[in-house]
Structure 1
Amino acid sequence: MRTIGLIGGMSWESTAVYYRQINENVRTRLGGLASAKIAMQSLDFAEVVALQKSDRWDEAAALLSDAARRLERAGADCILICTNTMHLVADAVATAVSVPLIDIRHETGRTLAAAGKKRPLLLATRYTMEHGFYADYMRAEFNIEVVVPNEIDRAKVHSVIFDELCCGIVKDDSRQALEKIIQRGMDAGADSVILGCTEICLSLTDDNVALPAFDSTTIHSNAAVAHALGMDFKSEQNAV
């Protein structure tokens, strides 16, 4: 079994989901007391958020690249950035190490493509929805046109993520607000929804969304397990 390297802590709420999902998946596949070989660098999210807010992405790239190198030295055979937003610096992190970076955008994109989805609504942080690195990647790699909510809805999604979910707070009224945003996306022509922040799965499930939902956290975790076990990645199985 290969060792999975996780750059976590952004936030630790979603990193805990990664740890649980990866280990549950390995146990399901191998049985008994099997669990994943994992190395982790858990960052101080407050430090990362300060860099995001001040638009210091070069410094953020250096911080995550250093974490990736530490994981490689610790024996990691692949690297995961356990957050969608920080894939804004994924290219820099990938070039900092010799082991593969498993990119959440790529795994989510090919899962969408396998399901025949062309216009997914993206629910994520403001950085992910507005900076273009996510939508541009999907368009270039998979000919998928990502749809984002309107400005008011983007602000609401961002607030729910940072002010609530990243703090472990899950509110029914916020879940209902996200459901309404998804409904508006469907009305505007979206054919699916990307849960494009790794904390959103704490609030939304397939029982409360109007569109076929693709949980980026689950997709990313499954891809890590597939790599660790040397298996073919079955992307079509990762839709919520």
Structure 2
Amino acid sequence: MDMRKLGLIGGMSWASTAIYYEKINRIVGQRLGGRHSAPIVIDSLDFEPMAAAMGEGDWDFLTETLRASANRLVDAGAESLVICSNTMHKLHARLSEEIAVPILHIGDVTADAMQEAGVHKAALLGTRFTMSEPFMRDRLRSHGIELILPDPERMAEIDRIIFEELVKGEARVESKRTMKTFLTNMEKTGIEAAVLGCTELVMIVNPNSNVVPIFDTTTIHAEAAAEWVLADAA
């Protein structure tokens, strides 16, 4: 089987990186059968200093951290990269100019899935950086998708859940209920769908049991990565 080698820039957080690894390998195994798994190299970063740098607005440190990670993966034979984090896609354009292999953008593949479903407007849920800064909204807008934001109180609570619970691998029942309530209330405002714009949110939001269609960027990104791995397989 001539599969292509994928590199994952992970650890942001380890919990969502594990989801990527499992989903990609399950797709490859289902497609090829037998004991096949995907050729993947992972560079899993320590999220504590990265979270601190985000809080301080030190994006130069974060850029250098991801650049070094990407280069380690390329040196290890990766032919394409996936950044296992929505927030770190703020650095996608800069890294793409400097890294020798393509980096699959989470926003592009999410927009493709939304267009296929006929959805052109949705609520964006994620970290405060992903929700309040334009890098994700602008990317999807370039595909004809409009993203709207929760109110400031909901934004703050979603960000707290992500950074205080989910990145530690904690999926608390009360946070699942909170997100269910948020989505129910947002549905009443007339939104068509919701985008889980944080790779950990799928830990507490079931895309298949909500009042509005849910576009889980983690699953969509992982599925696109698996398709890339399998593109040359025969």
Q: Does residue 162 of structure 2 align to residue 125 of structure 1?
A: no
RMSD: 1.1
Match of 1:26 among 25, 28, 31: 28
After superposition, where does 1:36-51 map in structure 2 within 5 Å?
36-51=38-53
- In structure 2, the residue matched to 1:81 is 83
Q: Report the CA distance between 1:209 and its aligned residue.
A: 1.8
Match of 1:91 among 90, 93, 100: 93
- In structure 2, the residue matched to 1:234 is none
Contact persistence 1:179–1:208 (CA under 8 A) = no
Q: Give the aligned length.
A: 230
Q: Does residue 189 of structure 2 align to residue 201 of structure 1?
A: no
- In structure 1, the residue matched to 2:227 is 226
Contact persistence 2:187–2:212 (CA under 8 A) = yes
Match of 1:62 among 61, 64, 77: 64
Q: Distance in 1 between matches of 2:68 and 2:22?
A: 25
Q: Distance in 2 between matches of 1:184 and 1:136?
A: 25
User: Amino acid of the residue matched to residue 148 of structure 1?
Assistant: L
Match of 1:110 among 109, 112, 125: 112
Q: Report the CA distance between 1:5 and its aligned residue.
A: 0.3
Q: Distance in 2 between matches of 1:223 and 1:206?
A: 18
Q: TM-score scaled to structure 1, two decimals?
A: 0.93
Q: Distance in 1 between matches of 2:210 and 2:167?
A: 21
Percent identity over paired residues: 37
After TM superposition, the runs of 4+ consecutive aligned structure 1 residues lying more than 2 A away are none
Give 5+ residue unaligned stretches, structure 2. none
Q: Bigger CA drift: 56-65 or 149-158?
A: 56-65
Higher relative contact order (CA 8 A, sep 6+): 2
User: Amino acid of the residue matched to residue 56 of structure 2?
Assistant: S
Q: Bigger CA drift: 168-177 or 143-152?
A: 168-177
Q: Report the CA distance between 1:184 and its aligned residue.
A: 2.2
Q: After superposition, what is the alpha-carbon deviation per residue over 1:191-233, rounded to whole angstroms, capped at 9, x for unaligned?
A: 01111111111111134421111111111111111111117xx
Q: Report the CA distance between 1:101 and its aligned residue.
A: 0.4
SS at match of 1:83: coil
Q: Distance in 1 between matches of 2:158 and 2:47?
A: 19
Q: After superposition, what is the alpha-carbon deviation per residue over 1:152-195, rounded to whole angstroms, capped at 9, x for unaligned?
A: 00011111111111111111111111111112222222101111
Q: Distance in 2 between matches of 1:101 and 1:206?
A: 26
Q: Distance in 1 between matches of 2:219 and 2:19?
A: 9
Q: Distance in 2 between matches of 1:115 and 1:8?
A: 29
User: Amino acid of the residue matched to residue 170 of structure 1?
Assistant: A
Q: TM-score scaled to structure 2, two decimals?
A: 0.95
SS at match of 1:109: helix
Q: Distance in 2 between matches of 1:58 and 1:116?
A: 38
Q: Distance in 2 between matches of 1:64 and 1:102?
A: 14
Q: Distance in 2 between matches of 1:171 and 1:209?
A: 18
